[in-house]
Amino acid sequence: MTDLDPDLARDGPELTGEELHRRLTLAWRRPAGLYGWLSSTDHKEIGKRYIVTAFGFFLVAGVLALVMRTQLARPESGLITADRYNQIFTMHGTTMMFLFAVPVMEAVAIYVIPLMLGTRNMAFARLNAFSFWMYLFGGIMLWVAFALNVGPDAGWFAYTPLSGPEFSPGKRVDIWAQMITFTEVAGLAAAVVMATTILKQRAPGMTLAKMPLFAWSMLVVALMIIFALPAVALDSGMLISDRLVGTHFFNPYERGDALLWQHLFWFFGHPEVYIIFLPATGFISEMTATFSRRPVFAYPAVVLSLIATGLLAFGLWVHHMFATGLPRMGYAFYTAASMTVAIPTGIQIFCWVATIWLGRPVYRVPMLWVIGFIVTFVIGGLTGVMLASVPLDLQLHDTYFVVAHFHYVLIGGAVFPLLGATTYWFPKFTGRLMSEAWGKVAFALVFCGFHLTFFPMHITGMMGMPRRVYTYPAGMGWDTLNLISSIGAFILAAGFATFIVNALVCLRKGRVAGPDPWDAAGLEWATSSPPPVFNFPHIPAVASRTPLWDEGEGLPVMTGLRVDEREHLTTTVIEAIPSVREPSPHPTIWPLLSAIAIGVTFVASIFTPWALVVGLVPSAIALAIWFWPKNPTVPPEPTIE
């Protein structure tokens, strides 16, 4: 217990409304100008930067997809060379997986989760800022290298021995491996921030059993990131040391093993798929509830499915390696495990269908994406169950059937929900709604364009067309199917363009949204759109899973946090009983400067390992200054006017 200092200003019945708003703004706002912008630790600003950057990478990687589809539209096309094609498909996959899909899910969560939980900022706000800068620098490094014709060209999973020093001389694969380091540092930092925020900063009364399903999905995902991402970081570290300092982890001539690469890569790579997919299921749960006007059916079943998927995801990685030759027992085990993971996902889908069935569905644009998701994802899930069978997998391995399968689960299973979620939370981000009419046009174009592009690939794959070929001879029977896929790709691109133009136009011209334009139930809708810098004037308290539906305008709040200093509330892990008033970090430039010091070290280490030794000094100094307290003594209540 602390002594209550009566001189410290706190919110309460005497300090509420406009005066409270004014004082909290003074405490929570960041310095103005570029310096302030670069110093920001506000989760909303960081979240928006993350979202915009991730969509930027989505666009450029999408353009690469169009280039590939143009090349493949007809046989024996001479548009791009084999070497350029290798770089393009590697860049497409790498960017989509590492710079778009995983970060964009974390990005939305960074914006939305603290609002859903009723808190003022995330835990470790500076680490959150650092995470964004590391991610940005890694992405820039990769794309600058590509522009200089040093783009990686060994596929997004960079299999050894192809990616090793013998078969990939030059710097291309080093760039890839170091991009992994950047994005994994960023992803791991964001995961720790996310897990701590969800476990410790929920509104009073929001027990684990009353937590929004999106928060549940992000909690599971944060834990999955913590256990999965080290595998790829270690793997790429071993690869780059094989390439640069002569270790032999993957070199069979010196007692290493090329398959070790695949084991470590897929120990990360398979959970990665669910790291992308589970946040999307969280989006779907939120949107289905809101637009069905009832809570999600069988909440405990959905939560247990999320946890089960998270656990099972770590037991599947070898199904990516069926073609490498395995013991019989290995085949049987990983086939069974791969089929098992379909069960919790199936349960979730039935729960959403039941929610729509039992509710009064309103078919606004986000709900269209939900329906599009269910249809498309079920198809992708079923081809996944097919591929879990070893004989079929051996036949279809590395064909376009696999390309079709994973685009169904990744675009259908993650991008559709993401576009729905963007439409859904757009009014919260910007204060304005996106156009319904153009939203429907975008949905129709994306949905039709998607199926036109990827459905034929199942057949091209079964007809034997391999992945990652820059061209194919005429007369294999693949011509028409490829042409259809290419036409579909441009329709799909037109759909994405419509979506983005709609968003950009509505940023200025959209209909003004109130705090809760969809009549939704979550706490993020209890504050204004966009929220003030401190999120909530008083900390909300909840008693149910759907507070705004149950309490309406009379949402209870708790008082007593300081208003002259940045303070947020931590609560107990399970019951969310108020525990401590923790100070929240002020904005500072040091996370950015630390990221620059560490980033320069990483990039330079591609050229000489001594960079790690030299770079240690500025990095350590930057981190030490970051850690050093900036406001040493508790400042007294400032005199306002």
User: According to CB under 8 A, which residues from 565 to 584 bind another protein?
Assistant: 567, 569-570, 573, 578-583
The SS3 assignment for 578 reads strand
Residue 199 sits in the site that holds another protein (CB under 8 A): yes
Write b or e for each residue in 467-490: b if 16 or more Cβ atoms lie within 10 A of its Cβ, otherwise e: eeebbbeeeeebbebbbbbbebbb
Nearest to another protein of 391, 583 (CB atom): 583
432 sits near another protein (criterion: CB under 8 A):
no
CB 388 within 8 Å of CB 335: yes
Binder among 137, 249, 499, 602 for another protein (CB under 8 A): 249
Q: Kindly report the number of other CB atoms within 10 A of residue 82's CB atom.
A: 10
472 in contact with another protein (CB under 8 A)? no
Of 114 and 420, which CB lies nearer to another protein in the complex structure?
114
- Measured CA to CA, the distance from residue 368 to residue 90 in angstroms comes to 32
Among 296, 445, 561, 576, binds another protein (CB under 8 A): 561
Residues 104-123, interacting with another protein (CB under 8 A): 123
Judged by CB under 8 A, which of 255, 328, 360, 508 binds another protein? Answer: 255
CB of residue 341 to another protein, shortest distance in Å: 21
Tally of CB atoms within 10 A around 322: 22
Encoded one letter per residue, x for contact with another protein by CB under 8 A and - for no contact, window 273-312 reads ----------------------------------------
Query: Which of 51, 58, 72, 47 is closest to 410 using CA atoms?
Result: 58
Q: Does 555 bind another protein (CB under 8 A)?
A: yes
In the stretch 500-529, what mask flags binding to another protein with x, by CB under 8 A?
----------------------------x-
Q: State which residue, 114 or 372, has the beta carbon closest to another protein.
A: 114
- DSSP annotation of 12 reads B
Q: Which is nearer to another protein, 144 or 616 (CB)?
A: 616
Coil, strand, or helix at residue 171? coil
Q: Is 161 in the site for another protein (CB under 8 A)?
A: no
To another protein, the closest distance from the beta carbon of 11 in angstroms equals 9
Q: Please, what is the minimum distance in Å from the beta carbon of residue 248 to another protein? A: 5
| Footprint (CB under 8 A) of another protein, residues 220-239 | 226-227, 229-231, 233-234, 238
Of 162-191, binders to another protein (CB under 8 A) are 188, 191
**Residue type at 630?**
K
565: phi then psi, degrees, rounded to nearest 5? -130, 160
Provide the token pair at 224.
């999955």
Q: Nearer Cβ to another protein, position 191 or 418?
A: 191
Q: Which CB atom, from 359 or from 531, has the smaller least distance to another protein? A: 531
- Tokens representing 467 are 């992945």
590 binds another protein (CB under 8 A): no
- Binder to another protein among 204, 279, 366, 417 (CB under 8 A)? 204
Task: Report, in Å, the least distance between residue 632 CB and another protein.
Answer: 5
Q: Binding to another protein by residue 245, rule CB under 8 A?
A: yes
Q: Which parts of 123-152 interact with another protein (CB under 8 A)?
A: 123-124, 127
Which residue, among 592, 587, 589, 586, has the nearest Cα to 130 in the 3D structure?
592
Is the CB of 125 or the CB of 491 nearer to another protein?
A: 125
The single residue among 494, 557, 596, 604 that binds another protein, judged by CB under 8 A, is 557
For residue 570, the surrounding DSSP H or E stretch is strand 567-571
74 scored as a contact of another protein (CB under 8 A):
no
Minimum CB distance to another protein smaller for 573 or for 600: 573
The answer to whether 313 contacts another protein (rule: CB under 8 A) is no
For the bound state, the minimum distance from the C-beta of residue 370 to another protein, rounded and expressed in Å, comes to: 31
Rounded distance between C-alpha atoms, residue 169 and residue 244, angstroms: 10
Rounded distance between C-alpha atoms, residue 200 and residue 164, angstroms: 44
Nearer to another protein, 382 or 620 (CB): 620
Backbone angles phi, psi at 568, to 5 degrees: -135, 165
DSSP 225-286: HHHHHHHHHHHHHHHHHHHHT---TT-GGGT--HHHHHHHHHHHHHHHHHHHHHHHHHHHHH
The residue count for binding another protein (CB under 8 A) is 74
Near another protein in 532-551, by CB under 8 A: 537-539, 541
512 SS3 class? strand
Please, which residues bridge with residue 567 across strands? 583
- The correct pick among 23, 49, 172, 200 for binding another protein (CB under 8 A) is 200
Q: How far apart are CA 577 and CA 572, in angstroms?
A: 5
Show contacts with another protein in window 317-376 (CB under 8 A).
none
Looking at 244-252, 343-351, 447-455, 475-483, which segment touches another protein (CB under 8 A)?
244-252
Distances (CA, A) of 261 to 237, 241, 252, 256, 467: 11, 13, 12, 10, 20
- Answer for the pair 68, 87: CB distance below 8 angstroms, yes or no: no
Question: By C-alpha distance, which of 313, 325, 458, 327 is closest to 386?
Answer: 458
Nearest distance, CB of residue 216 and another protein, angstroms: 18
Which amino acid belongs to residue 386?
A: M
Least Cβ distance, residue 124 to another protein (angstroms): 6
Q: Which of 36, 170, 246, 391 binds another protein (CB under 8 A)?
A: 246
Choose among 384, 397, 385, 387: nearest CA to 464: 397
Three-state DSSP at 362 gives coil
- What three-state secondary structure class fits 540? strand
Tally Cβ neighbours within 10 Å of residue 229: 23
DSSP 96: I
Min dist CB 42 to another protein, Å, is 17
94 or 197: CB nearest another protein: 197
* Residue 434 identity: M
**What are 587's two structure tokens?**
């904005």
Q: Are 417 and 369 in contact (CB under 8 A)?
A: yes
Smallest distance from another protein to CB 627, Å: 6
Distances from the Cα of 372 to the Cα of 274, 362, 416, 446, angstroms:
19, 15, 7, 10
Of 596-635, binders to another protein (CB under 8 A) are 620, 624, 627-629, 632-633
Q: How far is the CB of 250 from another protein (least distance, A)?
A: 8
Kindly state the smallest distance separating residue 18's Cβ from another protein, in Å.
9
